[in-house]
Amino acid sequence: MASHADFVEYVAEQMQQAGSIRSKKMFGEYGLYCDGVFFAVICDDQLFVKITPQSEADFPDLPKAPPYAGARDYFLVEDVDDREQLTKLVRITCEALMLQPKKRRK
């Protein structure tokens, strides 16, 4: 089941205070970017945020699950209505991802 565009728009609005949020349709689902950094996916109308050591330290109780078969675990954010928590999670995650060395394509 593909995600609905209105759900993606709602989630992006909820985290708009974290930075410049944009979504990109990918393989029938959506990838999310904050200030140009890929940090999350929306699959089957569920939000999955990449796990970093920093975000894991601040959000140890968030459930983890793979967004699709064969994927690594991401945080599964079940409460997308909590704007404050969502903004904090996105900021911490994206700041950590920006500090990681860039992967080179082979």
Residue ranges of domains in the chain: 5-99
Burial 22-33 (b: 16+ CB within 10 A, else e): ebeeeeebbebb
Closest CA to 67 of 90, 41, 89: 41
**Residues of the chain under the 50 pLDDT cut:** none
Given this model, what pLDDT does residue 99 score?
Answer: 85
pLDDT, tens digit (0-9, with 9 covering 90-100), for 77-102 = 999 999 999 999 999 999 999 887 77
Q: Which fold has domain 5-99?
A: Yope Regulator; Chain: A, (3.30.1460)
| Three-class secondary structure assignment of the chain | CCCCHHHHHHHHHHCHHHCCEEEEEECCEEEEEECCEEEEEEECCEEEECCCHHHHHHCCCCCEECCCCCCCCEEEECCCCCHHHHHHHHHHHHHHHHHCCCCCCC
pTM to 2 decimals? 0.90
